[in-house]
Structure formats: structure tokens, C-alpha cells
């Protein structure tokens, strides 16, 4: 589904964030990415999301070598991936409903065709009470769930989530994790970058651990 082959990543010459790393995200898989702050978790997710290019090596996404495709094709591939940003990136001038619907609006879909789905998803993440609220009045956990719903609305084949439980208490963290597990059971691949050892223990899945530019995979 997504494959890294001998991938290295440097932002500058003195440090390799990734040093000759290879692994594959399998269809229907569920993975955690761990590692200390600055280890490269967000950078690795950005590589998987086609928003960074490797310094060396090959990244293939849905069978396409990303160094060989146009920006337009990259955009199309990206639509098959949902991304939950560490800092949410909700748009302040839009309501929760509008933020969640945004990926579909950008694709030019007609609201008549998606309104019901957005409302259903709002219920699923327990945000019905926030439907008309702007992000500034949402709590941290509500923003996090809105960001997850926005990543899910386009029915992506894979969801990449950067610290999706980073701003919430353990109860909500556990609920968020269960949402991901439900999606995974429906066939969506999930990759979660996290520091949160409690959630890693709650649902046991393979762990990709980043350290000094290398990865160790614990199955």
C-alpha cells in the first residue's frame, strides 16, 4: 500500500532523520509510530502523505513511485489518504460541519450528496452539539475529534494520525482509539504516531520505533 525502500531523510547535512529505512504499510494494517520528541515521527508521516520527498531511496504509494509522478497525480493519490494533523488545522472561519465537509467540497461534490454522511459522522464522533460552532469555541478533545472526522469523510484507504490523543484526557484518548479500531475493522489501514504508552498498551498492534534515524519493528 505504502512502501519505503532504503529511504533516508535529511533537512540539512548534519543529521539524518531517517537513515536507510525500509518497511511497508500493508492493506488493512494498524501500526503505531513511536520515538522521542524530535525522533522524526511527523517527518515519517509526511513522507507517507507525499508532502515530503526522501533525500535518498524510494517511496511508493498505492503502487506509484512518488519521484516519477506529477503534482496533479500526487494530489489524486493524497485523496485516498486521511491525515490527522498534530495541530488539527481546522479552518477558523468555518463551522465544525463545514470543516468536516471541506474535503468533499474541495473535490466539487454537491452538498445534497454528502450532507447526510457528514451529519452521521458528526454523531459518530459525538460532536452533534458542535455542528454550528467554530473551532475557537471547541475544547481540545472536540477539535481532535473534528480533525479525525475530516480525515475520515472522504473514505480514505489509509489514515495517518499525528498524536491524535495528544491533547485529551485518558477517557477521550481511549474513545478516539476505539474509533480508529472501528475504522480498521471496516478495512481502513491506520498509522498512529504517538508518545502515549497507555493507548499502545490498550490495543496491541505492531510498533515502528524510531531512534537515531533507524527503525525497529515490534510485532
Ligand X SMILES: Nc1ncnc2c1ncn2[C@@H]1O[C@H](COP(=O)(O)OP(=O)(O)OP(=O)(O)O)[C@@H](O)[C@H]1O
Contact positions vs ligand X (CB under 6 A)? 11, 17, 35, 37-43
Q: What DSSP character marks residue 188?
A: -
Exactly one of 20, 42, 133, 174 binds Mg ion (CB under 5 A); which one?
42
Q: CB nearer to ligand X: give 16 or 100.
A: 16
Q: 60 is in the binding site of which of ligand X, Mg ion, none (Cβ under 5 to 8 A by kind)?
A: none
Give per-residue burial for 127-164: e unless 16+ CB within 10 Å, then b.
Answer: beebeeebbeebeebbbbbbbbbbbbbbebbbbbbbbb
Nearer to Mg ion by Cβ, of 78 and 195: the residue is 195
Question: Whose CA is closest to 34, among 201, 154, 152?
Answer: 201
- Three-class secondary structure of residue 184 per DSSP: helix
Nearest distance in Å: CB 45, Mg ion:
8
The partner in contact with residue 50, picked from Mg ion, ligand X, none with C-beta cut-offs of 5 to 8 angstroms by kind, is none
CB of 124 to Mg ion, least distance (A): 26
DSSP letters, 43-77, are HHHHHHTTSS--SEEEEEETTEEGGGS-HHHHHHH
Cα–Cα distance for residue pair 60/2, rounded to 1 Å: 6
Give the one entry of Mg ion, ligand X, none that residue 55 binds, where binding means its C-beta sits below a cut-off of 5 to 8 angstroms depending on kind.
none
Closest-approach residue to Mg ion (CB): 42
Residue 55 is a binding residue for Mg ion (CB under 5 A) = no
> Computed from CA positions of residues 86, 88, 89, 92, in that sequence, does the dihedral angle turn out positive or negative?
negative
The residue (of 96 and 144) whose beta carbon lies closer to ligand X is 144
Query: Shortest gap between Cβ of 33 and Mg ion (angstroms)?
Result: 9
**3-state DSSP assignment of residue 84:** strand
Residues 137-176 that bind Mg ion (CB under 5 A): none
User: Which of Mg ion, ligand X, none sits in contact with 35, Cβ below 5 to 8 A by type?
Assistant: ligand X
Q: Which does 206 bind (CB under 5 to 8 A by kind): ligand X, Mg ion, none?
A: none
Instruction: Tell me the closest approach of the beta carbon of residue 17 to ligand X, in angstroms.
Output: 5
Neighbours of 113 (CB within 10 A): 9
Distance of CA 156 to the CA centre of its chain: 10
Residue ranges in contact with Mg ion by CB under 5 A: 41-42
Amino acid at each position: 500500500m505504502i512502501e519505503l525502500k532504503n529511504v533516508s531523510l535529511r533537512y540539512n547535512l548534519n543529521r539524518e532523520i531517517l537513515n536507510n529505512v525500509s518497511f511497508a504499510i500493508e492493506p488493512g494494517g494498524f501500526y503505531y509510530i513511536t520515538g522521542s520528541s524530535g525522533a522524526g515521527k511527523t517527518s515519517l508521516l509526511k513522507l507517507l502523505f507525499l508532502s515530503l520527498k526522501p533525500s535518498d531511496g524510494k517511496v511508493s504509494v498505492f503502487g506509484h513511485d512518488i519521484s516519477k509522478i506529477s503534482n496533479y497525480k500526487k494530489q489524486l493519490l493524497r485523496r485516498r489518504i486521511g491525515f490527522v494533523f498534530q495541530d488539527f488545522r481546522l479552518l477558523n472561519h468555518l463551522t465544525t460541519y463545514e470543516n468536516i465537509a471541506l474535503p468533499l467540497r474541495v473535490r466539487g461534490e454537491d452538498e445534497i450528496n454528502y450532507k447526510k454522511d457528514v451529519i452521521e459522522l458528526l454523531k459518530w464522533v459525538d460532536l452533534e452539539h458542535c455542528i454550528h460552532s467554530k473551532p475557537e469555541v471547541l475544547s481540545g478533545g472536540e477539535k481532535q475529534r473534528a480533525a479525525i472526522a475530516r480525515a475520515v469523510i472522504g473514505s480514505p484507504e489509509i489514515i495517518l494520525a499525528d498524536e491524535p490523543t495528544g491533547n485529551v484526557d485518558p477517557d477521550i484518548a481511549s474513545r478516539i482509539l476505539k474509533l480508529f479500531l472501528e475504522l480498521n475493522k471496516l478495512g481502513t489501514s491506520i498509522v498512529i504516531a504517538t508518545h502515549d504508552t497507555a493507548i499502545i498498551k490498550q490495543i496491541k498492534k505492531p510498533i515502528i520505533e524510531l531512534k537515531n534515524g533507524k527503525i525497529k519493528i515490534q510485532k
